[in-house]
């Protein structure tokens, strides 16, 4: 099977979600509560697979220590929620209502000792009056740190589609630029190519889940901005072009990104390209079980410092990924979380020279027991000299 061939992948199953609920029950018992109410959108999706469009109307997932879970939703989501495996659905009429929906959820839960994953201060005070004990917990966020094999399969699929965008950008950009096309045209060509493949290969099974592609392409002086906006600007010979792509399959995220050279690599640019590549390798080498996340960040950024480019650093080396494109833990100062097998991180060294240009690469890393797996293969398959856009 070729690198670009689709590997069969399926959405997460009810069995997996039931397993997550059981893990959650185990953890909340240690909190000495009777149930946990999940209110964070991504925690609800993670634990139930109930994909929904978040808005001002709260949606909750109630998980008792004993008894079936319940989805607590606005009336307009009733049928949608009833299609979910959870089955037990309770509804409120509307937001904001005569009683705030979150207070309604806590009151109608029937439990006097309850944990919540997030709650506004003003609601926490009111909710505390409805129960004997109200506890804030991050137990679901910590469960999300370690991905199962089924989740990792979705991450790998997402990384493949992100790579596919970069492949199309590499092959199409020269023609687009010669025609006077812009950054917007280049990004659109890449996304359109990969979106067609995603639609063709994933099929209707993924319809209820979250699948998609997003990205940016920015060139020249604006490449010195870590979050540059894609504009109707035609790239110019001699400039770097940063392309950063995020993909999601079945609700799980991955990223791929690279800096292309328009026309060729200059002597001034080469040290920046090479330092970013060295950082990518250093990040992979440092990401071993037991290492601290902040230690990985420090080790990964050393090649940029050794190259005398420290003043052009603007951000950490990476972040966790899963049901969110950016989620804990963080490969950054201040996060001493130990690296564990099954964690997923981005690896994105960036060098940003104000008023001149910028360089960034992005790969997805999966922590394994015998080394780091990098499902983002674009960089490995396209060494520096193959990242040149011919004009």
Could you give the residue ranges of the DSSP H alpha helices within the chain?
A: 14-29, 41-48, 78-82, 101-109, 121-128, 139-143, 149-178, 183-202, 270-286, 293-306, 378-381
Q: What local confidence, expressed as pLDDT, does residue 2 receive?
A: 43
- Bridge-partner residues for 63, per DSSP? 36
Using alpha carbons, list the distances in angstroms from residue 384 to 128, 258, 379: 58, 10, 8
- CB proximity list for 383: less than 8 A, separation 6 or greater: none
Domain ranges in the chain are 14-143, 149-389
Is residue 1 pLDDT above 70, yes or no?
Answer: no
For the range 29-32, what are the long-range contacts, defined as Cβ-Cβ under 8 Å and sequence gap of 24 or more? 29/65, 31/115, 31/135, 31/137, 31/139, 32/113, 32/133
The tens digit of pLDDT for each residue in 33-56 reads: 999 999 999 999 999 999 998 999
Pairing type for strands 344-347 and 35-38 reads unpaired
Per DSSP, the residues of 282-318 read HHHHH--TT-BHHHHHHHHHHHHHHTT-GGG--S-SE
Measure the CA angle with vertex 345, ends 314 and 30; round to 5°: 115
Is residue 127 pLDDT above 50, yes or no?
Answer: yes
Pairing type for strands 133-136 and 113-116 reads parallel
CATH number of 149-389: 3.90.230.10
CATH superfamily of 14-143: Creatinase/prolidase N-terminal domain (3.40.350.10)
Q: What local confidence, expressed as pLDDT, does residue 381 receive?
A: 97
Please state, rounded to an integer, the average pLDDT across all residues of the chain: 96
Exposed, middle or buried: residue 153 (CB in 10 Å: 0-12, 13-18, 19+)? buried
Strand stretches in 196-276, DSSP E: 212-219, 240-249, 252-262
Q: What pTM does this model have? A: 0.96
């Amino acid at each position: 099977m070729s690198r670009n061939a689709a590997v069969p992948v399926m959405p997460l199953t009810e069995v997996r979600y039931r397993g997550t609920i059981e893990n959650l029950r185990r953890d909340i018992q240690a909190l000495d509560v009777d149930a946990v109410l999940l209110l964070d959108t991504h925690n609800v999706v993670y634990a139930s697979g109930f994909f929904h469009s978040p808005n001002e109307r709260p949606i909750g997932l109630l998980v008792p220590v004993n008894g079936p879970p319940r989805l607590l939703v606005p009336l307009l989501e009733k049928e949608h929620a009833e299609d979910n495996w959870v089955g037990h659905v309770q509804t409120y009429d509307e937001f904001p209502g005569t009683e705030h929906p979150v207070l309604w959820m806590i009151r109608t839960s029937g439990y006097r000792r309850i944990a919540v994953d997030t709650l506004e201060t003003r609601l926490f005070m009111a909710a505390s009056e409805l129960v004997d004990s109200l506890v804030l917990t991050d137990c679901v966020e910590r469960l999300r740190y370690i991905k199962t094999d089924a989740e990792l399969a979705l991450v790998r699929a997402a990384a493949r589609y992100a790579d596919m965008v970069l492949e199309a950008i590499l092959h199409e950009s020269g023609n687009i630029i010669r025609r006077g096309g812009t950054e917007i045209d280049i990004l659109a060509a890449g996304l359109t190519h990969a979106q067609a493949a995603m639609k063709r290969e994933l099929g209707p099974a993924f319809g209820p889940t979250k699948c998609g592609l997003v990205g940016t392409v920015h060139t020249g002086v604006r490449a010195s901005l870590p979050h540059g906006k894609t504009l109707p600007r035609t790239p110019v010979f001699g400039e770097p072009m940063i392309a950063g792509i995020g993909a999601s399959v079945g609700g799980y995220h991955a990223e791929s990104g690279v800096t292309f050279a328009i026309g060729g690599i200059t002597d001034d640019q080469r040290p920046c390209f090479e330092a970013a590549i060295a950082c990518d390798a250093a990040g992979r080498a440092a990401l071993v079980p037991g290492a601290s996340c902040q230690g990985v960040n420090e080790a990964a950024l050393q090649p940029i410092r050794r190259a005398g480019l420290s003043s052009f650093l603007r951000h950490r080396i990476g972040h966790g990924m899963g049901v969110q494109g950016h989620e804990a833990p963080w490969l950054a100062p201040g996060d001493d979380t130990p690296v564990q097998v099954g964690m997923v991180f981005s690896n994105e060294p960036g060098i940003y020279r104000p008023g001149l240009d910028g360089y960034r690469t992005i790969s997805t890393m999966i922590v394994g027991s015998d080394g780091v797996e990098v499902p983002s293969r674009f960089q490995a398959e396209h060494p520096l000299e193959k990242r040149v856009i011919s004009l």
